[in-house]
């Protein structure tokens, strides 16, 4: 699905990622944890194709293609989805128009006919129910005036609409209360599929109580310093990151 080899990334001349190696197979869930400033979000953004980052070395293969050569929209259409840490408010762009354009762009890419208005509304209703999303949210502008929790739920809702092959959840748990956290986790779990992979980027272990990862990686100072099974998350929760920092030095 995804193979990252020796990825080095700089922002304004400062190296943030210093040689990341990661391989994700279809159906796997990987958690990436680490202290603040370790480069977790940078990794998510680079995968999605944000322009402010300069890839100085390394390669990323996404389903047999050189991901770094693709524009962000093509990455999305090929099935890569980033749930934003800070979803952007876009006043004046109605949720419905945005989603419809997005879904139909994905369909066009796959050579499918665009959904009719009623088909689209039906799909939207289904997914909204699944995430217990307030019905009126889709009548508003994209993320405009949404609460923190609503924004994160809206991300998972979009993911459910687009059914990506690889979903990257960038601190989707931050700012969520426990009920919202469960709903988000349920949404992600409902989409579990042997062909679908997930990268969960998080500070805390609590989301991982609900979305059980196959692998946990610890990112520290731009490198993956430790990889293990789901028990590593528990250990981190107990001991904090300091012991890893000490080990890494």
Partner 1 sequence: MSQTAINNKTAVSEKYVELFHANKSLLDEGSSPLFNRMREIAVRRFEQTGIPGFKNENYKYTNLQPVFDKAYRPAVQYRNPEIDLNKVFHCDVPLLDTYTILLVNGWYYEENQKPQGLPAGTAVGSIRKIANEEPELVQNWLNRLAGLSNDPLVALNTAFAQDGFFLHVPDGVVLEKPIQVINLLSAKESLFATQRNLIIIGEHSQAKVIFCDHTWDACDLLSNSVTEIFVGSDSVFDFYVIQNQNNQANSVNSAFVKQEANSNLLTCIATLHGGMIRNNLNININGEHAEAHLFGMSFTDKKQHIDNFTNVEHNKPNCMSNQLYKNVLDEDSVGAFAGRIHVARDAQKTNAFQRNNNVLLTDKAKMHTKPQLIIDADDVKCSHGATVGQIDEDALFYLRARGIAEADARLMLMNAFAHEVIQEIRIEPLRDRIDELVEKRLRGELARCHSCDKN
- Interface pick for partner 1 out of 11, 93, 96, 123 (rule CB under 8 A): 93
Looking at 61-69, 92-100, 195-203, 233-241, which segment touches partner 1 (CB under 8 A)? 92-100
The answer to the question of residue 247 lying near partner 1 (CB under 8 A) is: no
**Total residues interacting with partner 1, rule: CB under 8 A:** 31
The answer to the question of residue 111 lying near partner 1 (CB under 8 A) is: no
Burial environment of residue 68 by CB neighbours within 10 A (0 to 12, 13 to 18, 19 or more): middle
The answer to the question of residue 109 lying near partner 1 (CB under 8 A) is: yes
- Interface pick for partner 1 out of 50, 132, 192, 239 (rule CB under 8 A): 50
How far is residue 112's CA from residue 211's CA, in Å, rounded to a whole number? 32
Closest separation in Å from C-beta 164 to partner 1: 10
The answer to the question of residue 163 lying near partner 1 (CB under 8 A) is: no
Secondary structure element (H or E) that encloses residue 149, with its range: helix 148-162
184 close to 211: Cβ distance less than 8 angstroms: no
The answer to the question of residue 88 lying near partner 1 (CB under 8 A) is: yes
Secondary structure element (H or E) that encloses residue 99, with its range: helix 95-109
The answer to the question of residue 62 lying near partner 1 (CB under 8 A) is: no
- Selection from 135, 129, 196 nearest residue 162 by Cα: 196
| Binding to partner 1 in span 172-211, by CB under 8 A | none
The answer to the question of residue 49 lying near partner 1 (CB under 8 A) is: yes
The answer to the question of residue 92 lying near partner 1 (CB under 8 A) is: yes
How far is residue 222's CA from residue 219's CA, in Å, rounded to a whole number? 6
Which residues, 6+ apart, have CB-to-CB distance to 96 below 8 Å? 124, 138, 139
Distance of alpha carbon 8 from the chain centroid: 20
Residues of the shown chain interacting with partner 1 in the complex, contacts defined by CB under 8 A: 48-51, 71-73, 75-77, 81-82, 84, 87-93, 97-98, 101-102, 105-106, 109, 141-142, 158, 162
């Amino acid at each position: 699905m995804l193979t990252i080899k020796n990825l080095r990334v700089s922002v304004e001349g400062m190296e943030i990622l210093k040689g990341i190696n990661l391989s994700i197979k279809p159906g796997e869930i990987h958690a990436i944890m680490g202290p603040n400033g370790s480069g977790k979000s940078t990794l998510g953004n680079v995968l999605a194709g944000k322009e402010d980052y300069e890839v100085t070395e390394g390669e990323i293969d996404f389903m047999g293609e050189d991901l770094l050569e693709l524009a962000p929209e093509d990455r999305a259409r090929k099935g890569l989805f980033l749930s934003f840490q800070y979803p952007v408010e876009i006043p004046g762009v109605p949720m419905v128009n945005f989603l419809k354009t997005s879904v139909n762009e994905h369909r066009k890419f796959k050579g499918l006919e665009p959904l009719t208005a009623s088909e689209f509304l039906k799909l939207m209703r289904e997914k909204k129910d699944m995430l217990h999303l307030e019905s009126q949210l889709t009548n508003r502008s994209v993320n405009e005036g949404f609460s923190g929790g609503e924004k994160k739920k809206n991300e998972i809702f979009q993911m459910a609409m687009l059914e990506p092959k690889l979903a990257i959840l960038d601190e989707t748990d931050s700012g969520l209360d426990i009920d919202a956290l469960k709903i988000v986790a349920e949404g992600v779990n409902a989409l579990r599929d042997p062909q679908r992979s997930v990268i969960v980027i998080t500070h805390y272990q609590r989301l991982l109580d609900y979305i059980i990862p196959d692998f946990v990686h610890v990112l520290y100072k731009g490198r993956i310093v430790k990889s293990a099974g789901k028990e590593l998350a528990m250990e981190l929760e107990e001991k904090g990151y300091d012991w890893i920092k000490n080990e890494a030095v």
